Chain A
Amino acid sequence: MAQVVKSPAAHDVVIIGSGAGGGTVTKVLADLGVSVLLLEAGPMLNPADLKEHMWPYDVPHRGVGPKGEGYFGRSPFTYGATYGGAQIEGEPYTVAPGSDFSWFRSRILGGRTNHYGRVTLRFADYDFKPKSRDGLGVDWPISYEDIAPYYDKAENFIGVTGTREGIRSAPDGIFNPPAPLRAHDVLVQRACAKLGIRAVPARQAVTTVARNGRPPCHYCGQCGRGCKTASNYASSYVQIFPAIQTGRVQVVTNAMARELMTDEAGKVVAISYIDKTTGSEKQVRCRTVVLAASACESARLLLNSKSSRHPQGLANSSGKVGRYLMDTVGYSAGAFIPALSGMPRYNSDGYGSHLYVPWWLWDKKDLGFPRGYHIEVGGGYGMPGIGSFTGIVNRTEGYGVAIKQAIRDEYGASVGLSGRGEMIPNEQCSCEIDPEVKDRWGIPVLRFHWAWSDHELNQVRHMQATFHDILETMGAKVAAPTDVGGRPPISRGGAIIHEVGTIRMGDDRESSVLNKYCQAHDVKNLFVADAAPFVGNPDKNPTHTIVALAWRTAEYLAEEMRKGNV
């Protein structure tokens, strides 16, 4: 084994991972005067590389992926919009027989926040006390009141679109003005109203006013390719780049954390990582460490930090590290809406979603499934890309001007509805260390176990019926919902890329890993600031709560350091 290079001085805080959680901790600590070292497993983000504003013909493969791999399902239809994916060369994971799970990872400064959907929803008050409400899952050790001030801080800093609506399932925040609804949004809103469903302006992490030196959104619709004006949220350009300017942040890129090293007292004293540029192992010493590598990577790191003192992995006396992995329940349906065909043409780009449907049946008890879901609305004249018209052409068949006409008729006239629902944590869904397989760096990989329960399957049935009704009310002709392979067409585990849980917080150290400040019960100088501490996974997309929780954890950590407690 190569000689391990050790850093001379101990850093006050080492943060592992630079996504929503790591970026937030970096920003908050730097603002509080704390120096941090940030380890990122991928390269530095160069904003000049963001593909925003590029046309498909600006890349040789036009978005089908190098060598046309997208046509064979081996590459997404995109050009440089995302960094990473479920397959990363040399960094595999395994899935236990009988399970189905995909794990999307992003190795770059800012991680998945560079491209994510920017849906920014507060959890509702009742989301923190699910067990008390319906007997399922576990209550969080914190309440809405504990986290609300941090939602405020996050919204003030980031900029979130929206309107105050007074809906219990979708608490109001501090919003900046949303963009107007587009034609398809208006039709969805009217159709929903007819069905007694309320649709409201979308809550997106996009600033529509100048904020902290960031210009307002310019409505190019390219949020998914990163934002050159930093008008939407990504931890890279909104939090970490400004934090670097304080002089208190040191970033080490291409640093793949391997193991946390502890002393006799059981405190973390160093982080061992692989310098990917050389393949050599290095160590940085630390006074405290914050894991923010993503729920599953953070769990992997703890489980791989085994020693005679910690035979089950670090901070794992409860045996709960890796357990209660959750994703979001996903189901989508779309249709051609004749009323949208032939509209006077306009630029419908804006900023992704302008309309969404908060969960509207939160006070109903007899739905056949617990909890609920929200609906994200898609539509408009998107930039043509690879595959944009494949569906139309396969339906129309033939050739010549007739297929051009069919494309013209249907372009911009389709509406898509995506259900995003709550999953109940279960004993079957988890990740653990695969005893056989290691990645290219010699680090043991994760093995996933996954099973949806009837709670989620029944929820999808409700989505199917609801989406069918909404689309028909809009004038679409849609086939009756059916099962696929003997069950409703639920998303694959991990496919919604909302994996949370695995290092959960709680007051009881027998059944949880972290306390209510996301500090390990077993290891006082170890904190977790990604989605791993989540106790449940309500229907709200996780990023906003990752940011708010990380903000709170960072303030607590700074205060504990000031008091000399860690």
Chain B
Amino acid sequence: MSEISRRDALRRIALALTAAGFVDRVSAQEVHQMASKAATADGGRYQPKALSLRDYQTLERLTDLIIPVENGAPGAVAAGAARWIDMLASENGELKDIYTSGLAWLDAAMKQRGAADFLSAPPADQTAMLDLIAYRRNQSAELAPGIRFFTWVRRMTVDAFYTSEIGIRDIDYRGNTGLLSYPEPVEAIAFALKKSGL
């Protein structure tokens, strides 16, 4: 999380606390978690728990290609997608196997194409590989393990990103909040009716 967005979030909570006059449990938890995130963000590198450092860095690069920075808006790396995947893999042997064998396949496939491994390959070679394994239409005996693996990484990266604070802001979800009354969404209804012709 960027320094500015973290400060924003903390200020938002502080305002809510002052207005309400008490700390409810969830807000308190949020403050606590933000404080701990701030500490780790400043504290430097994450130590992977399931993957080797090299594999972890490769995974982080994959998540970056799947949900990149977009017009300055942070992507999967800032959202900590690789950390989350590594954390789950550290608790789940099946998941760990999927990632260790998948990343091994990826490096081997890159080697066959003349690179040392995926991470050190030039970006154009990395995306050339993704252009193969990111689509079912390229299905073949050779690529099947790669396509299967990439489906996992893409799915979990998307999950990780959109369940993070960064991703929830990115998709502009506006709910999970208390309202005194529920306003009729007049503009949205007018838009949908016009577009549908109903």
Contacts and interface: CB of A to CB of B under 8 A. Distances in A.
A194 B159 CA distance: 38
Interface in A321-359: 337-340, 342-350
Interface in A45-75: 48, 53-58, 60-64, 66-69, 71-72
B20 interface: no
B140 to A, nearest CB: 16
Given A66-B91, A220-B175, A220-B177, A390 B196 contact: no
Interface stretch (A23-31, A113-121, A284-292, A378-386): A378-386
A496 interface: no
B158 A393 contact: yes
A407 interface: yes
Contact of A58 (B26, B188, B189): B26
A182 interface: yes
A398 interface: yes
A368 interface: no
Contact of B154 (A54, A218, A337, A393): A393
Contacts of A219: 178-179, 181-182
Nearest to A189: B198
Given A69-B92, A222-B176, A399 B154 contact: yes
A222 B178 CA distance: 10
A566 interface: no
A441 interface: no
A388 B160 CA distance: 11
A69 B89 CA distance: 11
Interface residues of A, number: 72
Contacts of B4: none
Nearest to B156: A71
Most chain-B CB neighbours within 10 Å: which of A346, A388, A411?
A346
A397 interface: yes
B196 A474 contact: yes
B100 interface: no
Interface in B73-96: 84, 87-89, 91-92, 94-95
Contact of B192 (A71, A340, A388): A340
B95 A384 contact: no
A66 B95 CA distance: 13
Contact of A57 (B155, B165, B172, B189): B165
A220 B158 contact: no
B176 A221 contact: yes
Nearest to A68: B88
B119 to A, nearest CB: 16
A63 B168 CA distance: 14
A408 interface: yes
B143 interface: no
Nearest to B96: A68
Interface string A218-256: 111110000000000000000000000000000000000
Given A54-B26, A183-B185, A407-B158, A71 B95 contact: yes
B25 A48 contact: yes
A338 B197 CA distance: 11
A382 B30 CA distance: 21
A220 B176 contact: yes
Contacts of B185: 180, 182-183, 344, 346, 348
Interface in B139-189: 151, 154-156, 158-160, 162-165, 167-168, 170-185, 187-189
A479 interface: no
A62 B159 contact: yes
A279 interface: no
Most chain-A CB neighbours within 10 Å: which of B29, B70, B196?
B196
Contacts of A390: 155, 158-159
Contacts of A180: 182-185
B10 interface: no
A186 interface: yes
Interface in A438-472: none
Given A53-B176, A404-B70, A183 B191 contact: yes
A500 interface: no
Contacts of A9: none
A186 B195 CA distance: 13
A393 B155 contact: yes
Nearest to A193: B198
A394 B197 CA distance: 30
Contacts of A34: none
B174 A394 contact: no
A343 B195 CA distance: 10
A62 B30 contact: no
Contacts of B193: 186-187, 190, 339
| Nearest 5 A/B pairs, CB to CB | A339-B196, A349-B175, A56-B163, A180-B184, A68-B88
13 contacts: A56-B168, A60-B87, A183-B185, A345-B172, A347-B174, A349-B177, A383-B173, A384-B168, A388-B162, A397-B134, A398-B135, A403-B154, A404-B67
